[in-house]
Amino acid sequence: MKRYGIRVTLPEGDPMRAPHLLGDGWEQFRWYDSAQARDRAYEDMQRQLPNYRKGDVISQVLEKVEG
């Protein structure tokens, strides 16, 4: 069965990439059973979260993957 995913990493220069925090190699994957479910989640992950302060931005890099 083919799986559809989203790879989440941190942008270059992000303070959370410090060795004592998440480090340079940190990544996370979220997997979905269909491309449509993955694409909906991808769009949802790009929107501004309501609990963020005005002017704050989500610090993440999203990439669609298949596995």
What is this structure's pTM?
0.83
| DSSP states along 9-49 | EPPTT-GGGSTTTT-TT--EEEEESSHHHHHHHHHHHHSPP
Considering the domain boundaries, does residue 23 fall inside one? yes
pLDDT reported for residue 16: 93
Domain containing 37 equals 1-49
26-30, 42-46, 50-54: which has the minimum mean pLDDT? Answer: 50-54
Query: For residues 38 and 49, what is the distance between their CA atoms, to the nearest angstrom?
Result: 18
Considering the domain boundaries, does residue 67 fall inside one? no
pLDDT reported for residue 56: 75
Structural domain tally of the chain? 1
Considering the domain boundaries, does residue 16 fall inside one? yes
Considering the domain boundaries, does residue 60 fall inside one? no
- The stretch 17-46 carries a mean pLDDT of 96
**18-32 pLDDT, tens digit each:** 999 999 999 999 999
Q: Are 8 and 65 in contact (CB under 8 A)?
A: no
- Judged against a pLDDT cut of 80, whether residue 52 lies above it is answered with no
Query: For residues 53 and 31, what is the distance between their CA atoms, to the nearest angstrom?
Result: 29
Considering the domain boundaries, does residue 34 fall inside one? yes
